[in-house]
């Protein structure tokens, strides 16, 4: 895996874990409409601006940053 194990933390984006309860909140707050609600919901990385809105609004903290 590129970027792992090199001793540096490089911000690369947001992703949704399977802790997602498919509430749709993240999709509602995404300015880019980059999130497809599902189980789990998915961030379409090519549209993501890394604004962090989804991350801040997820009620179960299912969204992580890497």
Q: Which of 22, 36, 64, 66 binds ligand SF4 (CB under 6 A)?
A: 22
CA distance 65 to 60: 14
Q: Which of 12, 24, 64, 66 binds ligand SF4 (CB under 6 A)?
A: 24
Identity of the residue, 3 or 13, whose beta carbon is nearer to ligand SF4 in the bound complex? 13
Q: Which of 3, 12, 36, 60 binds ligand SF4 (CB under 6 A)?
A: 60
CA distance 40 to 37: 7
Nearer to ligand SF4, 7 or 31 (CB): 31
How many residues are present in the chain? 66
Distance CA 41, CA 26 (A): 9
């Amino acid at each position: 895996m590129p970027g792992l194990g090199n001793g540096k933390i490089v911000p690369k984006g947001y992703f949704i874990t399977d802790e997602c309860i498919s509430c749709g909140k993240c999709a509602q707050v995404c300015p880019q409409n980059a999130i497809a609600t599902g189980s789990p919901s998915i961030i379409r990385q090519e549209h993501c601006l890394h604004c962090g809105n989804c991350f801040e609004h997820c009620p179960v903290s299912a969204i992580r940053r890497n």
